[in-house]
Amino acid sequence: MDNQTTTETNITQIIIGQAISAWDAQNKAVSKFFEGENLDRINEVIAPGKNRIGYILGHLIAVNDAMLPILGLGEKIYPEMLEFIRKPDKELENIPSGADLLQRWDEVNARLSDNFNQMTPADWLERHTRVSEEDFAKEPHRNKLNILLNRTGHTAYHVGQLALAKPAGNK
């Protein structure tokens, strides 16, 4: 590769790395919320009449876990967690304990991170498994990076909701 190409390749690596860091930062915000006393509050709602804290964590686990097959990185680790996507909170009776949920959260994210560390910029530009080859030819932005950016925003959305559940004075 000539110098120009090397520079361009470095630029794509830097940019992809920043997108992964942004994803990671949102996941860390969730993990930080559940450090300490909030882990015992999973059956409390984030606001009157709204979802339970534990439902939101379960939902985020299910969404991140589903990234594995969508990105072609293998099967889901916890397929039974799909209930947290398919059903609203009020239809779910048994939620695992906070400690169990947090362990699953960490495990799913570690699996994703391990895979992300091995992916090249070109890998991120490939189509994800939810779009057909035919559609991808017409809509090349429906690549793996798009899943990453979309899920980063999705996690941030729920981090904003979890923040409302924090006890007063515990910013």
- Which stretches of the chain bind a second copy, using CB under 8 A? 1-2, 4-5, 8-9, 11-12, 14-19, 21-22, 25-26, 46-50, 121-122, 124-125, 140-141, 143, 145-146, 149-150, 152-154, 156-161, 163-164, 168
Minimum CB separation of residue 132 from a second copy in Å reads 19
Instruction: Please say which residue, 71 or 159, places its beta carbon nearer to a second copy.
Output: 159
Strand partners, 127: 143
Instruction: Please say which residue, 94 or 169, places its beta carbon nearer to a second copy.
Output: 169
How many Å is the Cα radius of gyration of the chain?
A: 18
Minimum CB separation of residue 15 from a second copy in Å reads 5
Measuring CA to CA, how many Å separate 20 from each of 26, 147, 168?
10, 11, 32
Q: What one-letter code names the amino acid at 59?
A: H
- Nearest-angstrom CA–CA distance, 140 and 77: 29
- Nearest-angstrom CA–CA distance, 147 and 153: 10
- Nearest-angstrom CA–CA distance, 97 and 38: 12
Minimum CB separation of residue 80 from a second copy in Å reads 25
Instruction: Please say which residue, 30 or 76, places its beta carbon nearer to a second copy.
Output: 30
Minimum CB separation of residue 157 from a second copy in Å reads 3
Instruction: Please say which residue, 36 or 49, places its beta carbon nearer to a second copy.
Output: 49
- Nearest-angstrom CA–CA distance, 171 and 122: 40
